Amino acid sequence: MRRAFVNARLLDPATGLDRKGGLLVLGEHIADLGPHIRPDQLAPDIEWVDCGGHCLAPGLVDMRTQFREPGQEHKETIDSVSRAAASGGITAMVGLPNTDPVIDDVAVVEFVARRAREVKLVKVFVYGAVTKGLAGKTLTEMGLLREAGALAFTDGCKAVRDAQVMRNALSYARGFDALIIQHPEDPDLADGGHMNEGELATRLGLAGIPTAAESILLERDRRLVALTRGRYHAAHVSSAEGLEIVRRAKAEGLRFTADTAPPYFALNELEVEDYRTFAKVSPPLRAEPDRLAVVQALKDGTIDVIASDHAPHDQESKRIPFAQAEPGMVGVETLLPLALELYHDGMLSLLDLLHKMTVAPARLLGLDLGTLAVGKPADLVLFDLEKPWRLNVKGGVGKSKNAPYDGRPVQGQVRMTVVDGRIVYQAAET
């Protein structure tokens, strides 16, 4: 395959590149890029795509997605989530191990890899479970899972609640420099809670989850990381208190990183008024000061990565009383336009924003992705930075439609997604 993308604004957060030009793809890799890649300079046999002056950047690397396959294919499959991700500009994604069966066995890792090869859209990776069956008791065979392809280890949407188990996991994983990813929410303090603890929860008559549930577990884990010198990552940190602990851990030189997701910087707890179950997530949407703290942490580098936190659910799991509804919302299709709000609001530069969705997660997970460089995989997203439109969750290509963003005005739209030089998504002309 010989294809050039011309008349683009080239953006590479890994190198700070931001200039007009073109990019040449030979086979699956980037062969050249720069202002000299123009139609009049190309050999006649090279196909070229006019980017119309839009942004051409590395494809997004989403480090937190729930596939639902195997086990809950009525909610999502590797095929449907891959199509949804491609339409959102994601070229690589990593699935949590909370499938059925759980990804705590080499056979399940190999099953997902086989399904990804069959679908052949975006690149699909998985995490292995920290504990067998996500039960929090017995460590999995991390070494074998790692050899089979598991990128890192997590119990997904469950915290590793036992301090000794977490200590052992950090120590064991350190032996092969593997990352342990925690859902930082104390299960005892969160037990029975359905939304953020506070005045609104009281008024709605719903049991609340205090921010202390997050900060207590993060503080415990900070000390365990100091004790073991392991690699630790806190997923979807949602509170000002929790972020202060991440900040302290980084200042101490610990290998302690964090991510967040659009719900935690684009929404606050007011979204759950009228018992809107589509806004029920775990950890819960917090109060406005916590949302602002998340934005500040993105600006000052406390938060390293923005992930989609894609959690698909069917109508039967969401169209029920709030206390009974499953937590989570879909996110792969809306990741980029919601994140671009941070740029359009003047909170982050465009390169800093893209850094948190491309090269930062790639480096954290040891993937040779997320940059525009000669010899690297031709994984690309082409997007119109200024395009105004309204999110249409119901019209998305994923199987589940559980998100509270329907009709939200945004600015910025994916036009094309390319994986290993193949065009896997192209927007309709509007």
Q: Which of 188, 194, 232 is nearest to 214 (CA)?
A: 188
Q: Which amino acid is at 29?
A: H
Taking 70 as the pLDDT cut, the residues of the chain under it are 430
Task: Determine the pLDDT at residue 429.
Answer: 72
pLDDT digit string, tens, across residues 304-358: 999 999 999 999 999 999 999 999 999 999 999 999 999 999 999 999 999 999 9
Q: Specify the pLDDT at position 66.
A: 96
Tell me how far apart the alpha carbons of residues 76 and 142 are, in angstroms, rounded to a whole number: 27
Residue 427 per-residue DSSP state: P
- The span from the CA of 126 to the CA of 130, in Å, is 13
**Each residue of 99-113: pLDDT tens digit?**
999 999 999 999 999
Q: What are the helix (H) ranges across 212-268?
A: 212-228, 240-251, 262-266
233 touches 175 (CB < 8 A): no
Angle between helices 212-228 and 163-174 (to 10 degrees): 40
Residue 128 is classified by DSSP as B
Question: The whole model's pTM is what?
Answer: 0.97
Model pLDDT, residue 16: 98
Give the span between the Cα atoms of 278 and 271, in whole angstroms: 9
Q: 331: number of CA atoms within 13 Å, CB side?
A: 28
Q: What is the pLDDT of residue 430?
A: 61
- pLDDT of res. 428: 87
Residues with a catalytic annotation lie at: 309
